[in-house]
Amino acid sequence: MNGATSRQRLVSSLALLALALTQGCIGGAAVRSHTVTFPNPAVSKTAHADGTHRRGTLTNDLVTAAWLEAHWGKPDRIRRSTAPGVDETWTYTFGPMWEGIVPIAIVPVPILFPTQVRKVQFQVREGRVVEATHNVPQLVGGAVGYSLSPSGGARFGAFSLND
């Protein structure tokens, strides 16, 4: 009887050890481009791909074309517009935008390719920036996983990888 109990403890211990060593998750995600547009945007003082955001409701200061050129420099491209209410579209370009898939089998394995250029476009009307558009990478997907907690608990479940 004592030998059976020792064997059961050994098997239980080995099973727990195997379970601890196999913790992880499986799933997948896609990294894709997403375009965001802000009317009357807040603009950072330095040029970068994420340099615009939605303006808070406490201010109504408009960014001028002169301010934008002084802080961001000359745009990579200026397109005169025939659209109503827009005089010009100023485009600033940055590095590549990487898109692809990320299969997850315990660890994520990104398979990404440069598919386009990150850019920020400003719609300028009568010398004022009235709208900003920029493309951002977006992670879409999910996984299911199991993990042991340092506090002694274990977790299992599905979770979203969406931004």
pLDDT above 60: residue 3: no
Give pTM, 2 decimals.
0.69
Q: Domain for residue 76, yes or no?
A: yes
What's the pLDDT tens digit per position in 103-120? Answer: 888 778 889 999 999 999
Give the start-end residues of each E strand in 40-127.
42-43, 52-53, 77-80, 88-105, 107-108, 111-125
* 53: in domain: yes
Residue 2 falls inside a structural domain: no
Total tally of structural domains belonging to the chain: 1
Q: Could you list the residue range(s) of the whole structural domain that residue 55 is in? A: 35-136
Residue 14 falls inside a structural domain: no
Q: Tell me phi and psi for residue 100, to 5 degrees.
A: 160, -150
Q: What is the CATH number of the domain that holds 50?
A: 3.30.1450
Could you tell me if residue 142 is inside a domain? no
Q: Residue 60 in contact with residue 130, Cβ under 8 Å?
A: no
Residue 31 corresponds to which tokens in the numbers above?
Answer: 């990294």
Query: Could you tell me what percent of the chain has a pLDDT over 70?
Result: 75
